[in-house]
Amino acid sequence: MKSILDNRPKLAKQVADVAEVAGYLWQKGWAERNGGNITVNVTGFVDDEIKKLPAIGEPIQIGRRLPHLQGKYFFCKGTNRRMRDLNRWPMENGSFIRIQDDRSSYVIIADNPVKPTSELASHLSIHDYLIGKGSSYKAVLHTHPIDLIAMTHNRKFMEKDKLTYLLWSMIPETRAFCPRGLGIVPYKMPSTFELADATIDQLNDYDVVMWEKHGVVSVSDDVMEAFDMVDTLSKSAQIYLTAKSMGFEPEGTSVEDMEALGKAFNLPK
């Protein structure tokens, strides 16, 4: 069967990166059953032939009008599909979609009639926000890191920037590779525009946003970098929780040392 990826190495690389990250999420235990979602804006890799591809099935309503997404193309993990299967068979567990001219519906164009993630409303709203602000970010990743979610069950960690400074202080790499820190969204119903809008509000200041008792959303230029930021934050959470399990409160890097690190690497404050 002919695939949209045939003779399109750059587009195929985007899908291969999604598949690779999906495997990492499963291996880490962050993607139970069908948990987690990935969407990537692949519009820049779409040629005229792809633009002429017919829809597979009827248009599907998004639920809101997204003004910056007209004619945009995305590769999406399928709803009720497992990350471990997306890793092995990406084109059977994900699909390419095109946003219609009405900016409020989409069609599946390849390769199979795999309906996108149940969090598509949040993902597309985030992509619309990113495009609208002129961001270079193309990837949106949602996953369920055990250690980070566990920390949201402690009310004190839900205070603004409490987790940011705690996780920064555990290891210098976290301050360097997650320089904007970790935003917080109090618990909201999954798959809702309320959750999407609260996330977008946090993305004004952060590249990674914690959904209380649910998971994290990460945005970046590509899916690998989106994964790396979550992975780095998770390492810091593991260091903190390991120290606590040993019976002591970890000292953490001082504010002065973190500020010096920020100046040395020209990191945002």
Domain identity same for 160 and 46:
no
Has residue 245 been placed in a domain? yes
Q: What is the extent of the structural domain holding 21? A: 1-119
Task: Give the Cβ contact number of residue 222 at 10 Å.
Answer: 18
pLDDT confidence tier of residue 13, bands split at 50, 70 and 90: very high
Domain count, the chain: 2
Q: Which region, left, alpha or beta, applies to residue 139 given φ > 0 means left and ψ of -120 to 50 means alpha?
A: beta
Neighbours of 228 (CB within 10 A): 17
Q: Binning pLDDT at 50, 70 and 90, where does residue 47 land?
A: very high
The answer to whether 15 and 91 are in contact (CB under 8 A) is: yes
For residue 112, the 8-state DSSP code is S
pLDDT for residue 2: 86
- Which residues does the annotation mark as catalytic? 119
**β partners of residue 184:** 210
**Mean pLDDT, residues 98-124 taken together:** 93
Query: Would 129 be classed as within a structural domain?
Result: no
Residue 79 in any domain: the answer is yes
Q: Which residues contact 210 (CB under 8 A, 6 or more apart)?
A: 148, 152, 163, 182, 183, 184, 185, 216
SS3 231: helix
CA contacts within 13 A on the Cβ side of 82 = 8
Q: Does one domain contain both 221 and 178?
A: yes
The 10s digit of each residue's pLDDT in 184-227 is: 999 999 888 999 999 999 999 999 999 999 999 999 999 999 99
Please report the pLDDT score of residue 269 as a whole number. 65
Say whether both 80 and 175 belong to one domain: no
Nearest to 104 by CA among 118, 93, 120: 120
Residue 128 forms part of a structural domain? no
Shared-domain flag, residues 150 and 98: no
Residue 183 sits at the vertex; the CA angle it makes with 20 and 141, to the nearest 5 degrees, is: 20
CATH of the domain at 243: 3.40.225.10
Q: Residue 97: helix, strand or coil by DSSP? A: strand
174 and 181 Cβ atoms separated by less than 8 Å: no
Task: Count other Cβ atoms within 10 Å, centred on residue 255.
Answer: 11
Beta bridge partners of 219: 140
Return the sign of the alpha-carbon dihedral for residues 72, 75, 77, 79.
positive
